[in-house]
Amino acid sequence: MSTLPYLLPWIMLLTAAGLAVAVKMLPLKSIPGIAVISVLSLIMLAVAIYANVVSSQQFAMVEEKNAALAEIEDWKYSHLDELTLILAQLKPPSDEEQALLKELISYGWLRQNPAITHAQQSHQARQRLMEQYQPSKPMLIKGIPTSVDGNIVNLALREIGYLVLPYREDETPEADVNIIYFGRDMELIEVKLAALTLMQAGVDLKAIKPFPKATQGNIRAVKIEWNKYYEGRKSVLPDEVEAAKAFN
């Protein structure tokens, strides 16, 4: 059966050659001539129909295999991102980071420090939301500050389904941020996870708001910025983000 599609063109060619010979050698008005030409014509028609059916089946099989391969690729890259994130999180601290930790402890820092507690609570809230979350449509995000580990935050956002846009050459990366804007077509849980991903990295958010003006480019996007008008506000708390019914 696997070789039949390759033989069909040769069968049609031989049938066509036989038909041409029959038309030339046999009297067209005689019974044998009519019978031979009719049989050969029917054979050609049947072969042509069968070739079309086989081609359609092969095309459907190819499409099915391509779809299966695409699913495998999506699965591979999604799990590759997860594995890369885990490995990045398990990376042991450098000597400089250990020295910094010892220095902060020498100043009197404790694990109960509100900044540390805030980050831990943000992570716990994020984990609870991730249990009920399934990425759907693509999303864009831009503005990761230089005050966080860009590699880990990038991977954590990609885990949610965000495509992280880099800064342009003429843009200066923000050293710190305090607000995120989101597009009108963003799901509430998508916005929450973006905010909590930043907050678990130590970002002190003061506001989460929709874009003032919706455009074609920001309806499925999040923009992270620093805004002096929000700096005096109290920080957004992890439980407030998790429980929010909307952001205005």
158 and 226 part of one domain? yes
Residue 126: its pLDDT value, please?
97
- DSSP-derived letter for residue 228 is G
Residue 165 and residue 140 in contact, taking contact as beta carbons nearer than 8 Å: yes
Do 14 and 118 fall within a single domain? no
| 205 in the same domain as 141 | yes
Instruction: Write b or e for each residue in 89-109: b if 16 or more Cβ atoms lie within 10 A of its Cβ, otherwise e.
Output: eeeeeeeeeeeeeeeeeeeee
Residue 76 near residue 84 (C-beta atoms within 8 A): no
The predicted-structure confidence for 8-17, as pLDDT tens digits, reads as follows 565 655 666 6
- Structural domain contains residue 191: yes
- Based on the fold, state whether residues 238 and 119 are members of the same structural domain: yes
Q: Are 214 and 184 in contact (CB under 8 A)?
A: yes
Same domain, 57 and 116: no
* Total number of domains constituting the chain: 2
Residue 190, domain member (yes or no): yes
Q: Which helix (H) or strand (E) holds 181?
A: strand 179-182
Query: Do residues 34 and 143 share a domain?
Result: no
The SS3 of residue 137 is coil
Rounded to whole angstroms, the Cα distance separating 190 from 160 reads: 8
Q: Which domain holds residue 32?
A: 4-71
Exposure string of 119-145, with b = 16+ CB inside 10 Å and e = fewer, is: bebbbebbeebeeebeeeeebbbbbbb
Residues 221 and 152 in one domain: yes
Domain stops at, among 17, 42, 71: 71
* Measured CA distances, 145 to 39, 45, 149, 176 (Å): 78, 69, 9, 5
Per residue of the chain (248 residues), give pLDDT as tens. Answer: 455 555 556 565 566 666 555 555 655 555 665 565 566 666 766 766 766 676 666 666 767 766 666 666 665 555 566 666 556 566 777 888 889 888 888 888 888 899 999 999 999 999 999 999 988 888 999 999 999 999 899 989 998 999 999 999 999 999 999 999 999 999 999 999 999 999 999 999 999 999 999 888 899 999 999 999 999 999 999 999 999 999 98
- Please write the tens of the pLDDT for every residue from 118-151: 999 999 999 999 999 988 888 999 999 999 999 8
Query: 């000597």: which residue's tokens?
Result: 95
User: Does residue 157 belong to any structural domain of this protein?
Assistant: yes
Are 48 and 143 part of one and the same domain?
no
78 located within any domain: no
Q: What angle do CA 40, 41, 45 make, to 5 degrees?
A: 115
Which one, of 150, 118, 143, lies nearest residue 226 by Cα? 143
Domain shared by 176 and 231, yes or no? yes
Opening angle at CA 132, ends 179 and 238, nearest 5: 35
Instruction: Indicate whether 55 and 135 sit together in one domain.
Output: no
Q: What sign has the CA pseudo-torsion 146, 115, 154, 195?
A: negative
Single residue among 17, 38, 71 that ends a domain in this structure: 71
